[in-house]
């Protein structure tokens, strides 16, 4: 059961345990992480689950799909470490992953 470290837009750190196979977005929604809106429910049809992945974890993630890349083009304040949390499936290999919540319109 991986642990995810979320930092909200105010820098508040919160650790959340989630089942392998769930997405980072699902873990955030289940834990009521402030700023993860997830309007499309994980369909990669909005950018309201936009996060910034800590640079030390970027290389461990699967490559970004063209659809995710296009959605992030519409996100506020895209950065090189931007990812949609609905597109990151949690595995034991991602235990301890650290992400910061982007400004998702909340």
Task: Give pLDDT, residue 106.
Answer: 57
Task: Give pLDDT, residue 45.
Answer: 92
Could you give the CA distance from residue 82 to residue 23 in angstroms, rounded to a whole number? 16
**48 lies in a domain?**
yes
The boundaries of the domain holding residue 50 are 3-101
Task: Give pLDDT, residue 71.
Answer: 94
Task: Give pLDDT, residue 105.
Answer: 66
CATH code of the domain covering residue 58 = 3.10.20.30
Distances (CA, A) of 39 to 46, 50, 59, 97, 106: 7, 11, 27, 23, 11
- Paired sense of beta strands 13-17 and 82-84, if any: unpaired
pLDDT mean values, one per 10 residues, the chain (106 residues)? 94 96 97 92 92 96 96 92 97 97 79
**34 lies in a domain?**
yes
Task: Give pLDDT, residue 75.
Answer: 87
Confidence (pTM)? 0.93
Could you give the CA distance from residue 6 to residue 16 in angstroms, rounded to a whole number? 8
Could you give the CA distance from residue 35 to residue 10 in angstroms, rounded to a whole number? 10
Task: Give pLDDT, residue 9.
Answer: 87
């Amino acid at each position: 059961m991986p642990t995810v470290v979320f930092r909200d837009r105010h820098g508040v750190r919160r650790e959340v345990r989630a089942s392998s196979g769930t997405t980072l977005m699902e873990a955030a929604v289940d834990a009521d992480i402030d700023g993860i809106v997830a309007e499309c429910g994980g369909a990669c049809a909005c950018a309201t689950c936009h996060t910034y992945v800590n640079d030390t974890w970027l290389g461990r993630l699967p490559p970004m799909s063209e659809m995710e890349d296009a959605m992030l083009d519409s996100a506020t304040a895209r950065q090189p470490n931007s990812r949609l949390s609905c597109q990151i499936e949690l595995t034991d290999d991602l235990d301890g992953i650290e992400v910061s919540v982007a400004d998702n319109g909340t």
